[in-house]
């Protein structure tokens, strides 16, 4: 999508803050950046995420599964609720 903001992830305290659109083309790079920052994380901030596709939800769910405990998810970008329901994920992105 022309002019779309590049997807990013950064750690702020115990939160991983995602921005941009979490789409298939960006998942591999986001994984490489997010995984080393994951220990001790208890929340994902999706407030600056424009939308997610199934690959983006898979990324978030796998990161949540590898976290030390339950993840609190803040924000609801376009596509998240529908995909979370389709894959039967809880609000914390765990499999129900």
| 92 lies in some domain | no
Is residue 2 assigned to a domain? no
Using CA atoms, how far residue 96 sits from 4, 13, 46, 72, in Å, is 33, 28, 21, 15
- Each residue's pLDDT tens digit, 61-84: 999 999 999 999 999 999 999 999
**Residue-range definition of the domain harbouring residue 60:** 8-72
Burial class (CB in 10 A: 0-12, 13-18, 19+), 12: exposed
Mean residue pLDDT across the chain:
94
Structural domain count of the chain? 1
Whether the model clears a pTM of 0.75, i.e. scores above it, the answer is yes
Supply the DSSP string of 59-85, one letter for each residue: HHHHHHHHSSS--EEE---BTHHHHHH
Residue 36: DSSP 8-state: G
- pLDDT, tens digit, 9 for 90 and up, residues 20-33: 999 999 999 999 99
């Amino acid at each position: 999508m022309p002019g779309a903001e590049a997807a990013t992830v950064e750690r702020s305290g115990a939160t991983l803050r995602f921005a941009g659109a979490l789409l298939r083309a960006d998942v591999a790079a986001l994984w490489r950046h997010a995984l080393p920052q994951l220990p001790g994380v208890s929340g994902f901030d999706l407030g600056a995420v424009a939308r997610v596709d199934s690959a983006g939800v898979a990324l978030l769910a796998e990161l949540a599964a590898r976290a030390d405990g339950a993840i609190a998810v803040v924000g609801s970008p376009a596509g998240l609720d529908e995909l979370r329901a389709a894959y039967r994920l809880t609000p914390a992105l765990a499999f129900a």
